[in-house]
């Protein structure tokens, strides 16, 4: 990496980039990792980017994928969902943050690749400032934009079968974008001081679902050695029949068929977004455009995907996975209908997938109260899928660690709600910090620092570390004596709070009602 009065310059496989330096970190923004997926490349697998001559400016963020929320949210919550910033179909770009000084390692720094969340429908990589993590952890941080909604997760294979356009679209284009970004990291991250053999793939919510799905993808072998999955796992994916139903609804609203499949490519960005919004309105309180078990990039079923992900753990990919105690409160309080919001809706969904007897068994465990609904939704949609993955990895002989965030935010009485951990890992702007974290509190700041330290140690060393000197053991039987690897029988879980503790299977009694049923696809 060289420098000049106008900013640091790096040489990548595609050409030279000029970034910016500030506070001990260099940043390169809007770096193309694939060709623009526009025109005939809409819905296609990502293609390599074109080389450029001279020095390309890399001081401005790239556009996010086109996106449209299915329901309005208060403006102050936009930063939690990535609803701001410019958008276009030319969105396959990433941002690199790296410490500006020399690395103490002769092979370079460990690398964290971050996949944003947002129900596979909203968000952008640059909502997450990687510079504090790069500076604090002496790592290289890469945040990625990928195609969302219809542009990344509309499975058109069934509706295009037998037409002249059958070979123009792939399933899981958004996941394939993420693979292309990982391949770019493998080829180029050394130029930024990173070690391509020490890459951790991390994400929250849909980003965690993506990261765990890519554990099951044969094509990603060798692209990362660890995965951090916060509030998301394999149950977020769907099957081919469900995906085809969404696609048929979208193309019907575009008037594309039976004789004009080309309208999928001729339609404007706005027309396609409007068609998706209409299709989503017929499928309330559930994920719509999302990854699919396609039998190509991924296995063809969730069971096969779980087995493949566990096999990756057994072959040396370490897993750090966790949830927040009150995940579901985020959706019910803000009325964000990408997941089931009510007890009755959850009951219908459980019965449809696991039978009336299974639904009755699950529902009997949770009281019909606000607190009971939060527990039911949290365990059904987040806790049980995460424990299922942790158990499978541990049983396969892999290294895995589980955690649960219990600290309660003062915001709208939502407790440890979905996405709260983002405010601890990526320190937010002061106004958002006050909203989500409350008044400045040294104990909360220390808790956040410990959680970041555990994540960053995992990125550097493949294990989470202790975060900070352990406090004295509390008197209620919980223990601070280290954070053991996950085992399916014991399930040692780090409880993240003002004082971190380790508890064996803290959700075990509730999770036990799911024994023999499997996870729920939202």
CB atoms < 10 A from the CB of 233, how many? 27
Position 5 scores a pLDDT of: 42
Position 472 scores a pLDDT of: 36
CB atoms < 10 A from the CB of 35, how many? 16
DSSP string, 373-420: HHHHHHIIIIIHHHHHHHHHHHHTT--EEEEEE-PPB-GGG-BS-TTH
Position 511 scores a pLDDT of: 86
Position 402 scores a pLDDT of: 98
SS3 assignment, position 234 = helix
Question: Which residue in 11, 17, 46, 12 sits closest to 30, CA to CA?
Answer: 17
DSSP state of 479: B
SS3 assignment, position 177 = helix
Give the whole-angstrom CA distance, residue 40 versus residue 38. Answer: 6
Position 355 scores a pLDDT of: 94
SS3 assignment, position 143 = strand
Give the whole-angstrom CA distance, residue 458 versus residue 463. Answer: 4
Position 284 scores a pLDDT of: 85
User: Whole-prediction pTM value?
Assistant: 0.94
Give, for all 522 residues of the chain, the pLDDT tens digit.
654 446 799 999 999 999 999 999 999 999 999 999 999 999 999 999 999 999 999 999 999 999 975 444 555 555 555 456 789 999 999 999 999 988 878 889 999 999 999 999 999 999 999 999 999 999 999 999 999 999 999 999 999 998 889 999 999 999 999 999 999 999 999 999 999 999 999 999 999 999 999 999 999 999 999 999 999 999 999 999 999 999 999 999 988 666 778 889 999 999 999 999 999 888 888 899 999 999 999 999 999 999 999 999 999 999 999 999 999 999 999 998 899 999 999 999 999 999 999 999 999 999 999 999 999 999 999 999 999 999 999 999 999 999 999 999 999 999 999 999 999 999 888 888 999 999 999 999 999 999 999 999 999 999 998 774 333 333 333 333 489 999 999 999 999 999 999 999 999 988 889 888 888 898
- Please state whether beta strands 492-496 and 400-405 pair in parallel, antiparallel, or not at all (unpaired): parallel
Give the whole-angstrom CA distance, residue 193 versus residue 109. Answer: 6
Element holding 14 (H helix, E strand) = none
Find where tokens 């057994």 sit.
314
**What is the Rg, in whole angstroms, of the alpha carbon atoms belonging to the chain?**
22
The residues assigned a catalytic role are: 205, 327, 418
């Amino acid at each position: 990496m060289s420098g000049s009065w106008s900013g640091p310059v790096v040489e990548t496989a595609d050409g030279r980039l000029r970034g910016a330096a500030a506070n001990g970190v260099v940043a390169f923004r809007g770096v193309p990792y694939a060709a623009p997926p526009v025109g005939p490349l809409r819905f296609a697998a990502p293609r390599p980017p074109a080389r450029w001559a001279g020095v390309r400016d890399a001081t401005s963020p790239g556009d996010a994928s086109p996106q449209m929320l299915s329901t309005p949210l208060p403006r102050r919550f936009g930063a939690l969902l990535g609803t701001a910033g410019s958008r276009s179909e030319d969105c396959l770009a990433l941002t690199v943050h790296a410490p500006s000084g020399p690395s103490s390692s002769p092979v370079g720094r460990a690398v964290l690749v971050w996949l944003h969340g947002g129900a596979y429908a909203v968000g952008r990589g640059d909502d997450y400032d990687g510079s504090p993590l790069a500076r604090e952890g002496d790592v290289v941080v890469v945040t990625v934009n990928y195609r969302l909604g219809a542009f990344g997760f509309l499975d058109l294979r069934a509706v295009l079968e037998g037409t002249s356009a059958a070979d123009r679209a792939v399933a899981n284009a958004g996941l394939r974008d993420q693979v292309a970004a990982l391949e770019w990291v493998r080829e180029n991250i050394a130029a930024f001081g990173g070690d391509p053999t020490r890459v951790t793939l991390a994400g929250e919510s849909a980003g965690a679902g993506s990261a765990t799905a890519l554990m099951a993808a044969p094509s990603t072998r060798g692209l990362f050695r660890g995965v951090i999955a916060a509030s998301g796992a394999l149950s977020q994916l769907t099957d081919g029949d469900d995906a085809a139903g969404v696609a048929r609804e979208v193309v019907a609203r575009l008037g594309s068929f039976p004789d004009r499949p080309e309208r999928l490519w001729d339609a404007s960005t706005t027309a396609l977004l409007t068609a998706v919004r209409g299709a989503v309105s017929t499928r309330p309180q559930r994920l719509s455009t999302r990854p699919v078990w396609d039998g190509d990039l991924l296995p063809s079923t969730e069971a096969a995907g779980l087995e493949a992900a566990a096999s990756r753990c057994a072959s040396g990919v370490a897993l750090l996975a966790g949830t927040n105690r009150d995940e579901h409160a985020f959706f019910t309080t803000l009325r964000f209908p990408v997941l089931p919001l009510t007890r009755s809706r959850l009951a219908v969904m459980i019965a449809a997938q696991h039978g009336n007897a299974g639904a009755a068994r699950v529902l009997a465990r949770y009281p019909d109260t606000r607190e009971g609904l939060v527990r039911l939704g949290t365990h059904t949609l987040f806790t049980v899928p995460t424990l299922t993955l942790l158990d499978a990895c541990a049983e396969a002989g892999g290294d895995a660690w589980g955690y649960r965030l219990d600290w309660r935010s003062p915001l709208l009485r939502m407790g440890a709600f979905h996405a709260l951990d983002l405010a601890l890992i990526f320190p937010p702007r002061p106004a958002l910090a006050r909203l989500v974290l409350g008044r400045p509190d040294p104990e909360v700041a220390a808790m956040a620092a410990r959680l970041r330290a555990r994540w960053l140690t995992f990125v550097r060393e493949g294990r989470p570390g202790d975060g900070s000197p352990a406090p004295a053991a509390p008197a209620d039987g919980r223990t601070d004596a280290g954070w053991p690897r996950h085992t399916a029988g014991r399930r040692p879980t780090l409880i993240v709070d003002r004082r971190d503790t380790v508890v064996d299977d803290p959700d075990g009694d509730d999770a036990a009602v799911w024994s023999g049923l499997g996870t729920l696809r939202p």
